[in-house]
Amino acid sequence: MNQAVKCTRRINLEQCEEMEALSMAHYSSPNILRVPNSKTKVPITVQSIVIQSLNKTLTRLADTHVLEPVLVEEAGAVKVCTKVVLEVKYSLTYTEAGEVTKADLSLLLGTVSDAELPLQQKFEIHFIQQNTKPVPLSGNPGYVAGLPLDAGFQPHKGSGIIQTMNRYGQLTILRSTAEQDCLAVEGIRTPVLFGYNMQSGCKLRLTSTITCPLVVEKVKSLLKGQGFPDYVASFGNSQAQDVPDWVPVHFITQAPHTKDVCQLPLALVIEVKWTKYGSLLNPQAKIVNVTANLISSSYPKTNSGKERTVLISTAVTFVDVSAPAVAGFRARPTINAKLPFNFFFPFV
């Protein structure tokens, strides 16, 4: 699962040389197992190290030797800590069989002063599959989106590449940001992960100079992305050519019954129904139904020179529709007992 997270860390600048979380060695030293429960390890190779100065200029180092944080005293008795880990990016290459063959690491190191505390760090991990055979145009059929169960949420639209996916083959939705400005988050998407209910949104400011049709097209682009899928995979390893393994997306438009009034989309709600499939000991998740509900409302009126703010939101919910397991036999067993022909001898 490709992931990117940020965290804020409170540190004592005087102790920066002793903190593992700030050290490059802490992130470059672990070994990765080639396959689960194996003894074969894949070492991490440092691909690049970029140094960021206090004035935010970046310099890429020629070598990739391990660097440690150093506490130094600048002019005026101001102490700073150099070579502190700011960003960590892992890239793992794996085969179709699931074996990890290569692990690369890229780092951004920076200089931190008291004025920049608390420290914000960013961590990313990406998985890249080796292309051992041609990949169909419909996307990445090997994408598995799910933590406890192996279900798929890879989209498919006809026979071409769809643009609502990100480069890792994941269906995406609108991403919330601190600014909450819809115009600022256009094109910024977050992946939909199987089994995780998600909700995001933004604010859109309307003035009397903006026409409703223009806003409608803009909001639809924000909510649906470019090229909303017609189908999603029922399993994580569904192949594009296996038509029965693809579930159609039922798109519903919900709006008030008002004639001659422009309808502004306000929310896109996606409901995914799935069921447990296969053995009771090791059930797999299977998507059986997907519904996308576009909810609209009448375009709000704005007075001349004034602004109106509307909330735009997206939501994804996963519903388990598995039938409960029932103990017992499919049919009652019958007794087929036969006595020997001379059982009552010598009685007749």
pLDDT-based confidence at residue 161 (cuts at 50, 70, 90): very low
Instruction: Among 111-120, 142-151, 256-265, name the one with the lowest average pLDDT.
Output: 142-151
- Enumerate residues 6+ apart whose C-beta is below 8 A from 177: 184, 185, 188, 202
DSSP class of 194: T
Residue 146 pLDDT more than 50? no
Q: Which residue has the tokens 């989309």?
A: 265
| Distances from the Cα of 45 to the Cα of 62, 92, 102, 126, 288, angstroms | 15, 10, 8, 15, 42
- Over pLDDT 90: what percentage of the chain? 24
Beta-bridge partners for 42: 32
Render pLDDT for 324-345 as a digit per residue (tens, 0 to 9).
766 666 677 788 878 777 777 7
Nearest CA to 292 out of 242, 244, 229, 200 is that of 229
Q: Which residue has the tokens 């892992």?
A: 90
Q: How many Cβ atoms are within 10 Å of 243's Cβ, its own excluded?
A: 9
Segment of 160-174, 192-206, 324-338 carrying the highest mean pLDDT = 192-206
How far is C-alpha 143 from the chain's CA centre?
A: 11
Q: Is 143 in contact with 191 (CB distance < 8 Å)?
A: no
Q: How far apart are CA 318 and CA 26, in angstroms?
A: 37
The average pLDDT across 7-25 equals 89
The average pLDDT across 173-184 equals 77
Residue 160 pLDDT more than 60? no
pLDDT-based confidence at residue 108 (cuts at 50, 70, 90): very high
Q: Is 138 in contact with 171 (CB distance < 8 Å)?
A: no
pLDDT given at position 131:
55
**Tokens at 344, concatenated:** 């009552």
Stronger pLDDT, 262 or 136, i.e. the higher one: 262
Beta-bridge partners for 295: 254, 267
Q: Is 201 in contact with 211 (CB distance < 8 Å)?
A: no
